[in-house]
Structure 1
Amino acid sequence: ARPGNRFWALLAETGLTPRRLAPAEDALLPGLGLGLTDLAQGVAGQDADIPPGAYAPARLAALVAQIAPRALAFTSLTAARLALGCPRLGAGRLGTDPRFGATLLWALPSPSGLARSHFSADPWHALAAWKRSLA
């Protein structure tokens, strides 16, 4: 993530991680009940820079079927909309989708600095509250 991206700060701010982790500490996430993957593997950058053909929702659905997480959170509304085929999808708790089994889906606003003008951390906090309620 670029310096203006709030991803790691949001994980700590919401309590999903006990402190702000550095990107190099991502191996600690599974021990906290979190995991990371990309909907578009092999490419990086802003949503507008990623070719539509790079998104692989079927690969993600297969990974979710294999791991069976309780929840899957997209950290980009664009990625969630592409993966779920819902162009007007809003942020927050989405429910389930047959392609992802019983996994609860969440769409979170992008923490990218480019999205800051219309960013809300509320869905991130809602996800964290839901995760805490499982304990």
Structure 2
Amino acid sequence: MIDLLAPELKIVFCGTAKGTISARTGSFYANPSNRFYRTLHETGLTPERIDPAEFRRLLDYGIGLTDLNQVESGMDRVLNEKHFDLQGFREKMLHFRPRLIAFTSLTAARIFFADRTIRCGLQDRAIGDIPVVALPSTSGANAHWTRDRDHWYQLRALICRAENPSWGEEQKATE
């Protein structure tokens, strides 16, 4: 499966690798237990709930999709670290220049930054000058979803801030 990328998207979501069902169907986040598309709609990032088979429509909303591992599929625990193309991902992000990069799991963020201490939320490091956020996985296998899902609901504000870096300063000036 290829990436869903275009220049200057609002946000690019990056996972570790396609799940088994996604690899079989050719769609991102295709497992029926995955909360990805429902969450995009609930958080206001899409005005409607997109079906996984129609994932290409996300470009209409300024949303891109990719994975660190383009070779394998399956659960994170079965993936081989030699197949994670960290430099290739970095180069793609610097080429396409999304306003915000969001890792769709702590595992993906921890692999990319080689830092097992990363927590959910806006990171204190960027890719070039592109802000990065780490999110809890929307997988049905994520037992911490209820506790950590609020980070997904902060994305719209983070995108606004990334689109207008002086936004935070303007807000302070009007308070």
Please confirm whether the aligned pair reaches a TM-score higher than 0.5, indicating the same fold: yes
Q: CA deviation at 1:84?
A: 0.8
- Residue identity over aligned pairs, in percent, reads 38
Q: Is the 8 A contact 1:71 1:103 kept in 2?
A: yes
From 101, 107, 122, the counterpart of 2:150: 122
Query: Residue 104 of structure 1 corresponds to which residue in structure 2?
Result: 131
The AA in structure 2 aligned to 1:24 is: A
Extract unaligned runs of 5+ from structure 2: 1-29, 165-175
- The structure where strand makes up a greater share of residues is 2
What SS is found at the alignment partner of 1:94?
Answer: strand
Query: Residue 32 of structure 2 corresponds to which residue in structure 1?
Result: 3
Using the alignment, how far apart are the partners of 2:144 and 2:80 within structure 1?
23
Structure 1 stretches of 4+ moved >3 Å: 132-135
Q: Is the 8 A contact 2:99 2:159 kept in 1?
A: no
What SS is found at the alignment partner of 1:36?
Answer: strand
Query: Residue 61 of structure 1 corresponds to which residue in structure 2?
Result: 90
Q: Is the 8 A contact 1:93 1:127 kept in 2?
A: no
Using the alignment, how far apart are the partners of 1:95 and 1:127 within structure 2?
16
What SS is found at the alignment partner of 1:93?
Answer: strand
From 98, 114, 124, the counterpart of 1:85: 114
Determine which structure has more spread, i.e. the larger CA radius of gyration.
2
Q: Is the 8 A contact 1:77 1:107 kept in 2?
A: yes
Q: Size of the alignment, in residue pairs?
A: 132
Q: CA RMSD in A?
A: 1.5
Q: Is the 8 A contact 1:94 1:106 kept in 2?
A: yes
Using the alignment, how far apart are the partners of 2:105 and 2:75 within structure 1?
10
1:14–1:78 Cα change, 3 Å:
same
Query: Residue 76 of structure 2 corresponds to which residue in structure 1?
Result: 47
Using the alignment, how far apart are the partners of 2:55 and 2:135 within structure 1?
19
Extract unaligned runs of 5+ from structure 1: none
